[in-house]
Structures are given as C-alpha cells and as structure tokens.
Structure 1
C-alpha cells in the first residue's frame, strides 16, 4: 500500500533560480524592454520629422493639413512654420488665378532644375565609384573591403545602383564571379545594403532585360539563377517574381517562367545553392583547395609544366595562388622525389609572372610558420624544408622576395637573417647572417623551437591564437581528449585571449550535431577554472550574446541553442545565476542576445529545469568504450539478420568516423567465428565446460579448409564491407586500418578463433583488393 505520509513529505523539485534571482532578472528584463521601447520611440520620431509628417503628438485626429498650410484639429497648424497666418493669395501657381506670379513660378522651376542637376552629378559619381569597387572585389574577393568602401562612400539611398552594377558585371563573367556576386549580396544584405535597395536593384534589372539580352544572350537564364539564389539566401522575398512583367517581351516572359519553375521544384534548394558550379569556383575554400590538390597530383604524375600552368590559369584565382604555393612546397617536403619537379614548376610560374611575388611570399610564409606542426608528423620536415629552400634559391624562384615579406622563420632559411627582434619587439632590425652562410637560430619569446637549421615558431597575436584554438577544437571533436586541449591552451600562454576560445568553441558547435554540443559542454566543465577562469568564461559568453544577431544568419536556430548553452553552464555551476542579470546592460536592447537571456532564465526558473538542461543535448557524446560497444553490437546483429542498411544507419548515427575501423575489426572477427567456431568454443570455456576441465579431452574436428567453406563463412562479411564502402560509410583509410589492426593482432586472434584465421583474413583481403574497395 502506498505510504501517503511519505508521499506528502517528499519535496517537490525546486527551480534552479531562487526567488530573489528571479525578481532581479525580471527587473533587468523590464529595464531592457523600456530601453528598447524608448529607442523605438526616438527612431519613429526622427523618421516622422525626416518625412515632414505633422501628426499630432496626442495621437488624436488624422493630422492632415488644411488648405494653405493650416493644420486641422489636433495639429499645430501653419503658425509654427511661418510665424504668421498666410497672406491671402499666397501660393497661387495657377496661371488662371488673378494672384498668379510668373516670376515665382520661374524661380521654382529653376530650383527644381538645379536640384535635378545636382542629383545627376551625385548618381554619376556614385556609379563611377561602385564600378571600381566591383572590379576590385572580383580580383581580391574581400567582402570586408567592399563593405568598408560602401560605408565610406555613403549614399545608402543609391545602393540599388551598386546591386545592378554587381549583377550586370557578373552576368558577362564566369561562374566564379557569379558565385562571388551571390555571396557578396548575402553578406552585405541588411547590414550594408538595405533590403528595399536590393529589391530595387533587381527590379531595375528586370526592366533593362531587353538591353541585357543584346550583350548577354543567355541573360534570362543567368538572371533567373541570381533571383532564385537570392530567394534561397533570404536576400529577396519569393514575391519578387511578380515584379517581372511577362507582357514586356519574350525575355521577361522567359525569366519569369524560369524563376517560377526553379522555386516550385521539390528539393531545389541544394541545386540552387550550387547553381554556379562546384570545385574551383573560388568561393568555397574546401572546393578550391581540392581543385589545387588535383592539379598538383596530376602534375607530379605527368611532370607537364604547360598543362599545370594552363589549369592554374583556368581556375582564375590570382588572389589564392598562395594556397597553390603552400601545397606544392608541402608535397616536396613530404616526398623528396617531388622536390625537383616542384622547384621546376615554381621557377616557371614565377619567371612568367603567373604567380606573383606576394603570393610566393605568402605561401612560403604559411609553410614556414606552421613547420612545427609538420615536424610532429614528419621529423625530417625541417631538414627537407631547408633543402627545398636552397634548391629554390638556386633556381631563382625567390629572388624578388624581401626578408620582411616572408616572416622570421622563412627569412632564417632563405636569407640566413635573424628576425627575432622584428617578430617579438615589432622593430625592423635584423642581425647579420651567420658566417657559414647557414640559417641562424632565432630566439623567440613565444616558445619557438629549432628544427634542423630552421627556426619553427608560431607568429604571435590574436590570429595565431584563433587558428590554434580551432585546430585544437576540431581534433577534440574526434579524440574527445580534454586534457590535450588543456595542455594546448596552457602552452599558448595567452590567458587574456581565453574568451576568444570560449566563443570559438560554442560557435563551432552551433552548426554541428548534439554530439559536438555535448562535447563542448563537457570541455568547459573540464577547463573551468583550472585552465580558463570564470571571468574569461563570462567574457566569452558576453561576446557570444552580443554576436547572436550575426550567428542567426548562419544558424537559424542559434537563439534556442545559445539559450541551452547558457543555461547549461549555469547548471554546471561554471557561471553564477547572477550573470544573466549582470550581462543584460551590455547588450543591445533590440538585439537577439536579450532573447537568449530571457529564454535561459525561463528554463532555469522552471520546475524540472535542471534535469532538462543537463540532458539538453540528449547524451550526444558517447564515451569511446560505449562507441566500440555500439559498433560491435551492430556487427553482431548483422550476423543474425544480414541487414546491411541497419548497420549503415547505426554507424551513421554514431557520427564517429575516426573510429569506424573498429567496425572492420568486428566484421573480420565475425568471419573468423563463422568459419572456426571460435565463438562457441570461447563461450564453452567461459562457462567452465571445456573438455580439458572435465578430464575427457578429445581432439576437435578441424574445420574444412576448402575454398568453398571459407567463402561460405566470409562472403557475408565481404558483402557488408563492400556495401559500406560503396555507400561512403567506411572510407578506404578506415578499411585498410581495420584490416591492418587484425593482421597485427593475428597471433591473439588465433588463440580465440583457431589457426585457420590467417586463411580467412587472406581470403577477405584478396577479395577486397580484387573488387576495389580495399587498397592494395
């Protein structure tokens, strides 16, 4: 029987926030709401004054002016503007009126013409400026420079001319420039260019479409792509299609039809986002790097300098040639056989001017400054880098470079120059070269290490800290090793920049899955306060709350996710509940950061809020042992059901690509057990029923060694691995790593599954190499 006394005495779950904390937070939110209302009132008053509206402040009456300028009821009337009642007959501009004054009419006409002339001059000057801005953007690809130029130029009411110039220029260019134009519009929308100006720019293009067709015959198709891409990017409303008049000509009719078809198609968003092509378009770094890598791989196989030069020109990325230089140098460092062809290619491209001196310097500097990381994977990287630089100097590849252009590390190898003072102190002094002509060792204050004769040191500053933080976080998402992240942060010796690390960690997890978000929450628990102070954590979340308006552009659900992160750090006792009240005054009253704080406060004040926030990521981050157990369970179930799709689904849901080689090991062991009966034997021994234990040992019947029995046991495993490889669940690297792990532990596998395990493994390997899913 239920104990009613016990039931009544059990406490109800209390909210996390106390009554005093809730009252303080509510008062801070009310103050912020009043601040927001006051700001809106001031903005509305300024807008009304700018438009000349004379509406009553009492909000009564229509506020319309009487004839002759006098106000109606509840308006100030004409006295406030003229100081006296208007004289009878003033303002008569009708030629039939007895009070008509032709001189006054002529004066108004002159003033109007002067105004129109000034406006024309302003528009002409604006058009000339934006023309150069657009051309420079297509060369540099810098969105920030365009934003700064437009803000300095001002005249935001003429921004539609910029939109029109950008699109008309891109129409007559390649897909690279068109992708850049779409990306630029998405980046500048609402922040630099008002939404109504974007719409006005597109509608002016619709009007001038017949003229565009004369220069660009496929203008309707290209402009339709621009429109649909802008709609998908939330730059234009879908209703903009209605602005295209199909009766104005066949080109306009074609444009409207294309827009309607593309927007109405099912699952068309992905196609529209890639409407300007894929790899090498110069807009996505990943695609561009892949194109450059393909170019270099083909050159290193064929040694055709002319073909490599042609493909580099086709990319049309002069501002990204430093990536080409970097990849070429790294290919020579990784494999000494590539050193001679790489030097020959760079010598050809530098002498012909196809790769500029600035791009050569930037690529060389990127390799030299990150040589410390390369040494971890390749201990000979320092010596090979020195040899490569010497060979390039002999081929006159870097003759036009100056020490200050390539940084301290590259200068030490290239010129034998000590640039430690410039790197640390910011001075321009340099010590003489060493007497033996070799590179000198540079003593840096940031813990630089010497590798061979080349100094390896990361450049100091915020950019280097951000790069190191992102690298540590990405590695942490794979390894789940919080101690390694802590060691890296301590080694950086930049406690003042720890708020940037907090912001980078949460921002990186926003666009990921619950697994990464859970990992970030656990990482913050592991780092605070031993490595990251409570003040640095608060500073990081303050920066995040101030940047929510920008984060929403990339992650539409950023407000909800950020509120969960904020509530989670409070529940984990990393930040006090008072932080919610203290951070509000520093936030923009109309920004989304206030909404994040409000949502987090609601969750913390709710009953059972603690349990919801602790489990807000649904246990997304599994421990490594749990991952291995889940993988082996999926493979074992396949041995019973034979359902490949279920195994693929389980492995995808785990979202642990670096550990999927465990699936290969489990699958091969499944083949061992099917052929040798090792699983039955192991279970019998575990249960204490071994024949030796009972004293009646009898020799086991050896399994059949025929190829048919091996195929019967291992074919399901081969089919599983081939299917997972074909679906992209298992990569070639993971398949090879799994097979090699089994081969390295084969002596232990023989003890568990019998001496014929080697035969089964060889059969699986031979089938995988023959079918192509396993590398030879």
Structure 2
C-alpha cells in the first residue's frame, strides 16, 4: 500500500532544517538526491516506501528547491551541461564584499558569459582598454564628409598684422616696462609674439623718442636694447629706416625736448659704434641736408666718432644708472663734482650733476665726501662754499634729512682716523657742525652727537687740574 504525502511543509520545520545542514553538504548532495530519487516524484508529490520517513521527504524537497534556486542564479556563469544533459556546477566562488560588487564591471543581470562590459572599456570615466594604444585613424574615402583638400592640412595659430593705430599703445608699455627691469630678452620675446609686419622699423624710433624724455640711464638702456634686437628681431635696414624717420621728425621732437638734436646724434654715434648702423650712414647725408636740427644731430655724431680715436668710449657715454654703477665709480664722480664746484661756485650746476647720478639712496656718500674735503682743506673758502652747497641741497630736498644725518654720522665715526692725518680735524668739525646747525642744515640731535676732543693741558705742581679725556 502506497501512502501519498502532501508536498506542503511547515515553514518552521524548513527553518529548522536549514540550520542542520552544512552549506557544502547541501550543495554537493542536492544534485545526488535529486538524481537518486527522481523516480519517487510523481506530479510534484513525493512517494515514500515503508522505509522512508517524513524527515527524508522534507530533506528531498529542500534539496530540490535549493537546486532550482542555484541553477537560476548561476545560469551562464560557469554552469555547463554534461553529455547526458545533467547540470554540473562549477567551482564555488567566494563571496565578495559590497564595495567590490560596486566596482565589479561584470553584468549584474545574470546574463552573458560573465565578462566585463565592452571588454573593460565601457562605463563612465573610462578612456579605453588598459594598455590600448591608438594608431593613426585611416581616412575613409567613401565617407560622405570626406574632403580631399583637407586631408593633409596643417593648422597653426596666426596673429593678425599689427595696425598703425594700435602700434604705439601696444609697444610703448613694453618699452616703459623695460626701463624698469632692463631685461632685453623679455622685450625680444614680447615683440616676437606680435606680428609687427611693416611696423617693424618703427620700434627703434619709438624707443628713442621715449628715451629722449627719460633719464640718462634710460637712454643707456635704450642703446643696449637696440644693439640686442638688431639681428634677432630687427634687421640693419630696419634700423637705418628708423633713424631716418627720427632725423625727419627732429623739428617736432625739439618742441618737447630742446636738446633732441644732440641726443639723437649721440644715439647715432652709439649705433655706429655698436655696428647696428653702417659706418657710411653719416656720410650718406653729406650735401643733402636742409634742416638745421638734422645737420646738428649728424655733426654731433661725427664729432663723437672722431673722438673715439682719442680714447673716448662711446659705449659709456650715457653712463650706468643708479644701482647698476659700481660704488667706487660713484665715489670718484662725486669727488670730481665737488672739485668742479669749488672751482666754479655754480650751485645749480652741482645740484643738476648730483641729480643726474640717479642715486638718491647714496647721497650720504656725497655729504661725507664734502665734510671730509672741508676737514682736509686749508683756509675758509672751502668751508664756506661747502656749507652753502649743503644748505641749498637741503632746502631744495635734493638731499633728504635721512641722507644728511647718515652723512654726518659717518664722519663722526671716522673722525679718529681722519685726525691722524689732519691734527685739527676735531676743531674744524666742531665749527662746521655748529655752522650747519645755525643755517638749518641739521637739527639739534645731530649736533649733540658731534664728538669733541678735550685739550690736554700741562699743569704745574700743586694744581688740581684734571686732564680731560676724549669723548665721542
């Protein structure tokens, strides 16, 4: 007698059964149980013999459900069919963490062969397969957008030619900035980026016209700039045409700069000395000059070039500006300035020469040299003239209060050494400091800092006099 069992199994019983099996035994024994007892299943019901129990039926039903669940989950992932059509499980894969699942590029739809999407080259932020090297793309001549004329085109950035109306406002800031830093290479790079075109020959004339209204140091920088630009950015013909324009515009330049003819003549002589103008440039104007300013400029250039035979260095005619000049050279020029003033007595000329040195931070050296000259001089002429000069320079603020104070303090510090060569140095310094305070050159603080040397007096016996020591 056969007894038909109900396929329904209590949920609680199934829960208890799930805990009693090890996962590995369930997986491996599921298919064996299904194959072994496949004949006992009829229409979804289990047929048990007298030796089978309800417990075995429940185990078989659980194994069947687990087999169906695993087969649907792992379809296409390593499962294969044997020759007799039985499903064979692949190697068990270790579970992965949630983070690794997010970075996994395999399909999550349970379809396909389990390979990465698009061979690992798909998805957001992916540039292609790892290690893939792109070769030149072949042009398809059958493409409807194919254009034979553009097949071998080379594209490059082209700057439009600089127009005349934009030339001055574009190049002038470059030259003005060069007067501050003095780097000719930077100017050459900036001009190379501009498409000057026919305006190339206007660069030297613009630089010289700006230098005429500037200082002597800026004129020296302009001469160096022209020498460095010739050959790399500008040609010699550009230089000649530019100086021709300057000579034609001299009547207009004289209105703003009265000494323009002499200055332009110096620029021409310097350009010939630097070999950016030919030696026959000045001779080419002989007999065909009608403007007096042009004639004055060419005569000045010719005279300077003849003086080079006598030892004049045209490359140093403008001088070096400010901090670019050696200290010993500045000291020498200040001494020459003071000696020339003692001979001429022209205070305005001395003030102009001091201003042309362009070293306001070094004026304390001028004050020091002037006072030392007074200490080493004989007579009252140098004493009075130097006092007048310092008074005038202080009143016009050509020498600041700080520079004047530093000059006096330097004399105070060196008076002991000066006294070795000039025995009356202390006495003369006291008088000069008092007169300087009375005329308003220095204030009371600087006057009180003046060192005074007490006179050693010889005392007789019994005299209680005490020898005064030197005080500084």
In the superposition, the TM-score normalised over structure 2's length comes to 0.43
Q: More helix per residue: 1 or 2?
A: 1
Indicate the structure whose relative CO is greater, using CA pairs within 8 Å and at least 6 residues apart.
1
